[in-house]
């Protein structure tokens, strides 16, 4: 409880520093969801520790308080998650081919890093790198499942600290809850959000996916673990077209000339190669698993795409398109 009070006072100090007009007692009550008496105590604690704080009076003659800055961000004003959120969002924008907006966010992240003292940069850097590695972006359009923020925060902290967690997990099929010890490695975010983790009790050294929406509670453990140096979240995610983990297959698609310009703007998979044919069609090749998700995506292209390999995916597409009376392109 004492740590929570200290954290609130620090957050109030940062809010006073970031506000040009300062904060009134009413602002503190609203922003921190506290009573008037608690708001006064928090304000007094900030004023005791920040003698440079100023008192202003607004147009309604209400006192307001702020902490002036001289162009240097207080070291505590930035945490690793702030930088990671910017840089991870920039990665997502690049995946969506919005390169100019991605570059803008990357520039902001670099500027924020540069404002920090060297000691603060060195302290934050390992956390930033760990979280960027941990937060994979395998995004698809569509509805998103609601995940409780405290679950993400607890897992994030465990990833940074290299600590095991105990997860209370509910099976989608049986709806039964069970607990298991996990070594958290990262997240895959998409239509469904997943935690990538290894269970030293059930499948040591073998990464598995756990739907975040099925995690009911997470408890940090005192047990630390050494991250597998050979594991790469990027390579793990690239084994699949989406998030379903299946054996990798050689994938070959042929898109008709009518959609060639659109296909040229797509990144279907990080390992893809694209070859334009003499007739104007485009051949896309890559290696991955997740045939069902590929079928879902190819369905949106209708008769403008032909599955060359593998045969299993071609049959899936024939059935899907036949159901809608589409005509498959001749091969």
**Model pTM?**
0.42
* Furthest-apart CA atoms within the chain: distance in Å: 79
149-238 and 2-66 share a CATH fold? no
pLDDT at 244: 55
Plot region of 157 (φ>0 → left; ψ -120 to 50 → alpha; else → beta): alpha
State the Cα–Cα distance between residues 158 and 195, nearest whole angstrom: 12
For residue 318, the model assigns a pLDDT of 77
Q: What whole-number distance in Å separates Cα of residue 125 and Cα of residue 117?
A: 12
User: How high is the pLDDT of residue 166?
Assistant: 94
215-224/203-211 β-pairing: unpaired
CA atoms of 308 and 278, how far apart (whole Å): 17
pLDDT for 164:
93
Q: HSE (CB half, 13 Å, CA atoms) of 18? A: 11
- Rounded distance between C-alpha atoms, residue 126 and residue 130, angstroms: 6
Rg (CA), the chain: 25
Query: Per CATH, is 2-66 categorized as 1.10.10?
Result: yes
- Distance of alpha carbon 22 from alpha carbon 146, whole angstroms: 34
Fold of 149-238: SH3 type barrels. (2.30.30)
CA–CA separation, 55 vs 62, rounded Å?
Answer: 10
Cα separation, 227 vs 57, in Å, equals 54
In the prediction, which pLDDT does 172 show?
A: 61
- Per DSSP, the residues of 130-172 read HHHHHEEE---SS------HHHHHHHHHHHHHTEEEEEEEE-T
Cα(294)–Cα(179) distance, rounded to whole angstroms? 33
Hunting for tokens 């803008």 — which residue is that? 104
Environment class of 176 (CB within 10 Å of its CB; exposed 0-12, middle 13-18, buried 19+):
exposed
pLDDT score, position 290: 76
Give the three-state DSSP class for 208.
Answer: strand
* Residue 96, phi then psi, degrees to nearest 5: -85, 5
Residue 22 · residue 56 · CB < 8 Å: yes
- pLDDT per residue, tens digit, the chain (331 aa), is 455 667 788 888 888 887 778 889 999 998 888 899 899 989 988 888 777 788 888 888 889 998 877 544 454 556 666 777 777 777 766 665 556 677 778 888 777 777 666 666 676 666 666 666 666 544 443 444 556 778 888 888 888 888 999 999 877 656 677 888 999 988 876 656 788 889 988 888 888 888 887 888 899 998 999 888 888 877 776 665 555 556 778 889 899 998 888 787 677 777 788 888 899 999 999 888 777 778 777 877 878 888 888 888 888 877 766 665 444 443 3
Q: Where are the domains of the chain?
A: 2-66, 75-137, 149-238, 249-323
What was the pLDDT predicted at 183? 93
């Amino acid at each position: 409880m004492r740590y929570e009070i200290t954290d609130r006072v620090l957050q109030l100090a940062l809010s006073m520093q970031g506000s040009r007009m300062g904060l009134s007692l009413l602002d503190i009550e609203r922003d921190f969801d506290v009573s008037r008496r608690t708001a006064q105590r928090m304000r007094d604690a900030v004023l005791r520790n920040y003698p440079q704080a100023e008192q202003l009076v607004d147009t309604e003659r209400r006192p307001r308080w702020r902490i002036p800055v001289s162009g240097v961000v207080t070291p505590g004003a930035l945490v690793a998650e702030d930088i990671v959120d910017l840089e991870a969002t920039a990665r997502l924008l690049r995946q969506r081919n919005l390169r100019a907006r991605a570059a803008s966010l990357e520039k902001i992240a670099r500027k924020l890093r540069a404002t920090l003292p060297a000691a603060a940069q060195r302290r934050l850097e390992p956390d930033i790198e760990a979280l960027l590695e941990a937060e994979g972006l395998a995004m698809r359009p569509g509805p998103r499942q609601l995940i409780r923020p405290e679950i993400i925060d607890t897992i994030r902290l465990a990833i940074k600290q290299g600590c095991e967690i105990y997860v209370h997990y509910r099976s989608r099929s049986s709806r039964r809850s069970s607990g298991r010890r996990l070594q958290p490695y990262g997240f895959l975010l998409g239509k469904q959000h997943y935690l990538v983790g290894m269970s030293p009790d059930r499948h040591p050294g073998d990464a598995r996916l756990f739907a975040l929406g099925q995690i009911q509670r997470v408890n940090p453990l005192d047990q630390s673990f050494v991250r597998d140096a050979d594991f790469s979240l990027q390579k793990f995610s690239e084994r699949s077209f989406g998030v379903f983990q299946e054996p990798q297959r050689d994938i070959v698609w042929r898109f008709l000339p009518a959609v060639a310009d659109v296909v040229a703007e797509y990144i279907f998979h990080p390992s893809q190669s694209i070859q334009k044919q003499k007739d104007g069609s485009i051949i896309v090749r890559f290696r991955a698993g997740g045939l069902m998700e590929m079928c879902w995506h190819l369905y949106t292209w209708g008769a403008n795409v032909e599955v060359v390999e593998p045969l299993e995916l071609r049959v899936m597409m024939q059935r899907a398109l036949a159901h809608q009376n589409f005509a498959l392109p001749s091969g």
